[in-house]
Amino acid sequence: MVDARRMGKSELFAHFADRFEMKRAQTREFFDELTALAEKELKRSGEFVLPGMVKLVVQKRKARMGRNPATGEAIKIPAKTVVKAKIAKQLKDAVLPTK
């Protein structure tokens, strides 16, 4: 069980290695391959889904005007492409309290 602090890569790999009786190196390879697959699919189709957890989506943002918080001066924010994560409803429902 993990305490209140954030779980890092080492702890994540150790957890999966222990849970599935694998070597940590194999677990690391699995996550490296998952990362490579996500990158490939995001470039190819613009989205990648981990069922029941998260959907990663490539999104283009238009250029817009903003304000420098320090000076209040108007600045132009250029257009850019970002990756957004949309959390699956079942995960949200399991973690977040109901109103």
The model's confidence at residue 6, banded by pLDDT at 50, 70 and 90, is confident
Q: Are 59 and 94 in the same domain? A: yes
Quote the domain boundaries for residue 84: 46-99
Q: Are 20 and 8 in the same domain? A: yes
Asked whether the predicted pLDDT for residue 3 surpasses 60, the reply is: no
Q: Are 90 and 80 in the same domain? A: yes
Q: What is the pLDDT of residue 1?
A: 47
Average pLDDT over residues 16-32: 95
CB distance 55 to 42 below 8 Å: no
CATH number, domain containing residue 53: 4.10.520.10
Q: Are 74 and 33 in the same domain? A: no
Q: What is the pLDDT of residue 4?
A: 57
The C-alpha atoms of residue 36 and residue 78 are separated, in whole angstroms, by 28
Number of domains in the chain: 2
CA distances from 10 to 37, 67, 96 (A): 21, 40, 26
Q: Are 98 and 51 in the same domain? A: yes
Q: Which residue has the higher pLDDT, 30 or 1?
A: 30
Q: Are 53 and 23 in the same domain? A: no
For 33-82, write each residue's pLDDT tens digit.
999 999 999 999 999 999 999 999 999 999 999 999 999 999 999 999 99
Q: Computed from CA positions of residues 82, 47, 87, 5, in that sequence, does the dihedral angle turn out positive or negative?
A: negative
Neighbours of 51 (CB within 10 A): 8
